[in-house]
Amino acid sequence: MEIIHPNKSLLEEKDASSRIHWPPSPPATDNDPKESNIDHNSSGFDGISGDIDELDIKTSRRYPLPPPSRPDNGVLAEDLKTPDNHVVRDPRLIRLTGVHPFNVEAPLTDLFDEGFITTKDLHYVRNHGPVPRVEDSEMMDWEFTIEGMVDNPIKMTLEQLIKQYEQVTYPVTLVCAGNRRKEQNVVRKTKGFSWGAAGLSTALWTGVVIGDLLRAAMPKRGARYVCFEGADKLPNGYYGTSIKLNWAMDPNRGVMVAHKMNGEVLTPDHGKPLRIIIPGQIGGRSVKWLKRIIITKEPSDNWYHIYDNRVLPTMINPEMSADMPDTWKDERYAIYDLNTNSATCYPAHDERLTLPDVTGSYNIRGYAYAGGGKRVTRVEITFDKGKTWILADISYPEDEYRLAPDGEELFGGRLDMTWRESCFCWCFWNLEVSISQFQAADDIMVRAMDESMMVQPRDMYWSVLGMMNNPWFRVVIHKEGHALRFEHPTLPALMPGGWMERVKKAGGNLSNGFWGEKLSGEDEKIEEVEPAKEICMINKDVNRTITIDELRRHDGELEPWFVVGGQVYDGTKFLEGHPGGAPSIIGAAGQDVTDEFLAIHSENAKAMMVDYHIGSLDRASLDALANCGNDAVEGTEPREIFLQSKAWTKAILSAKKKVSADTKIFTFTLEHAEQLIGLPVGQHLMIRLRDPVTREAIIRAYTPISKGTDRGKLDVLIKIYHDTPERKGGRMTRALDSIPVGHFVDFKGPVGKFEYLGRGLCAISGQRRIVKRFIMVCAGSGITPIFQVLRAVMADPEDPTTCLVLDGNRAEEDILCKQELDQMVKGNERRCRLLYALSRPGPSWTGLTGRMGPALFEKEVGPRSSAGREELVLICGPAALEESVRDIFTGMGWKDDDLLFF
């Protein structure tokens, strides 16, 4: 019998009977049962200087040690233009999310063939953004804190952690909650990227039992949770999550603060220099680059704890989930313990058996794991779709560590496993079958059960994030002449292949309960959702290809070119007509502005783009833009001015102050205390957040109430538009309201075509104009740009400009900034007249009543005077108000040039 396999050298034949046996076995150690010294270099480890890098191992028994790492790995070419250009990586790893950030799994057979312990080279990686850079010389000075509801807050360095606390070493399997998600994505797209079946790995972790640290910090009565926060700076704040305090304190849970992996210091991808390890729970709880441990009464309010690692009810689709903030915050849907899962590794995908005869046997092999410290107690194989089952043999390499005597040390940490019954690791299963069983079957399916008798389900539980996928793992057997070919469900990432994609392309319904196979007499069709019609933004007669160098030669005020969706547009002809002013186009010049363009512009604006389309970027330029991007920037040197016209800049949400029932002042802390906001009077800034579900950019323009000359802090007054039975709420305002203090938010600017230069001098689309009187019409939160200009006028006693402010609201409590406005005008009534109008006044209201309409404007403003261009109407409010004001004022003889809409 000939075996043809993508990794043929990995299979071994056992003798003339052609019985194939599981190749992975513990790395060779001294078989002498007496104590022996093992040189770590003989196991493939490179010595590293420093106290924590001593890898001399004294063992009394035989248990698995790490296989050799690859000594020739380096920084990969694709990482050189990313923030991870300092990280050494293995080229065998399969990238699941493009070049950056780094989310990878090993080829399934390579992972399995390494055996029980996975090298740092092939261990899966889940990164949400750039990897924090920590030099070797800085590691021992790395600080972290234990704070919150504790009587004894602690701040310590890694050096203190190693010297002052006992070290332990545990073998632990980490599993991403998205393991096997590709199968869910084939059935129906989830909001997660496509993990294959290798989103798990096992390593020996060395560090300190977290219970020792927490007892030293002395949690207060009422504390129930332990929150962890890393140093990875992400679009939605630092990565953080939480677990229950009693779990962390329970030694059976094995939660630890780790600084070594397989006897070596942590690599950057795995949390250098310090991380949390939580056995039996999903990998998303094991925070890397640890900076803070916070004891709290409630679960973490970190964005990533709320909007990641959850299994929402299966009837909630992606569109529904975007408008269900309370559902996302429901801790019942948060994932902690792993569920029971298994997969077949051999036969591998596309492995072939050539059959000159039907003699011999084959050893089917795979892995299984359970969660919460439970042991996998059985693994069963079926060749007839579940009618009958065969028990597989299971091996538990983890148990070999339990045989180590008390006091045994490994990699500088006490093994400490002789007393513990809980299981932290995967196990391996195998079943030797005759080739004739393969020939008689259409597929092989495996399921596992844990000690609580929880068994893998037959069918998939689809959910919006595509996590915890664990139905029976099915391998299809194809009969091809004198050969058998095996086909796994899927391949990871965008790699084509697998029976699920094949069945779906052929029209099979993967959710019919029979793996997409058509039943007798069945005439079914998959219901396809009709895609939304997209606005064409491309001139089909344009065939020009443009390079990134050519694009960047047009990154200024003359002929500004920009990119949307890989297509290049020339904004020169629209500089004067753009509602946001020429600076909005000039600020986009030379950049890919896909996110912000699609987030801001209407369908009508998108349809206009055909007229400005001049070509498409070539493939190399698209890759270059993707690698370097023009996203939020962080420089090593502190910048004097916060706002940047061509780059997003991060600020931290540091406070929320409620000023009315639906309005808050959001305070953001800039990069340093002396940093200037840098916003001209009358202009706006852009705020960007990511939708927590769809990950689409939400971008809106706001006018802060801070002065542009303020430093260190930025205050923005925002009205929160909640959902009502009549209408959907505001995506941005609801997103801002839901994020916690400490969250990062992106800013860009300035934008806008109006600027007040002082003492009556304005600039509108670059053209200067002298104004002797401003007529300011606003409603609700539309006060903010009006407030900004009025403040500039009133702050200068030498400014001759006069102002009339008409501010309309429903009730008195809806008048925003009223105290500040009244204070500005007090004593300056000659220079400014301030009128409030309420549509739903209370009994004590003595001001104007009713909506702002023709009668009010005719009385207080009247027809355009002979002064003409010396008067300017500034308008900001709901669309209905702005349309009404335009109609009324043009009806009174005012020209469009006299009306400026913010």
Q: Are strands 848-849 and 871-876 parallel, antiparallel or unpaired?
A: unpaired
Catalytic residue among 127, 236, 302, 309: 309
Are 861 and 891 in contact by the 8 Å Cβ rule? The answer is no
- Sheet holding 125-126: strands in order across? 94-95, 103-105, 125-126
CA-to-CA distance for 834 and 827, rounded, in angstroms?
12
Catalytic residue among 176, 345, 803, 876: 176
| Segments of 23-141 assigned E as strands | 36-38, 57-59, 94-95, 103-105, 125-126
* 154: its two tokens: 């602690």
DSSP state of 53: G
List beta partners, residue 769.
762
DSSP string, 246-286: HHHH-GGG--EEEEEETTEEPPGGGTTT-EEE-TTB-GGGS
CB count in 10 Å sphere of residue 96: 26
- Sheet holding 143-148: strands in order across? 154-157, 143-148, 290-296, 225-234, 237-244
* 698: its two tokens: 């939400």
Are 771 and 760 in contact by the 8 Å Cβ rule? The answer is yes
* 344: its two tokens: 């077949």
Sign, CA dihedral 854-856-858-861, equals: negative
309 is catalytic: yes
Q: Among 310, 273, 308, 267, which residue's Cα sits nearest to residue 289?
A: 273
- Coil vs helix vs strand at 212: helix
Phi, psi of 816 (to 5 degrees): -90, 145
Q: Among 586, 565, 566, which residue's Cα sits nearest to residue 574?
A: 586
Q: Among 893, 873, 791, which residue's Cα sits nearest to residue 832?
A: 791
Sign, CA dihedral 10-14-20-25, equals: negative
DSSP string, 288-335: SSEEEEEEESS----HHHHHSSB---TT--HHHHTT-HHHHT-GGGB-
308 is catalytic: yes
Radius of gyration of the chain (CA): 32
CB count in 10 Å sphere of residue 388: 10
- Coil vs helix vs strand at 836: strand
CA-to-CA distance for 453 and 841, rounded, in angstroms?
66
509 is catalytic: no
Sign, CA dihedral 677-680-682-683, equals: negative
DSSP state of 498: S
In angstroms, the Cα distances linking 625 to 103, 128, 571, 593, 621 are: 20, 19, 19, 11, 6
CA-to-CA distance for 357 and 391, rounded, in angstroms?
27
Q: Are strands 754-758 and 697-702 parallel, antiparallel or unpaired?
A: unpaired
Are 501 and 194 in contact by the 8 Å Cβ rule? The answer is no
CA-to-CA distance for 568 and 554, rounded, in angstroms?
11
Q: Mind telling me the catalytic residues?
A: 176, 308-309
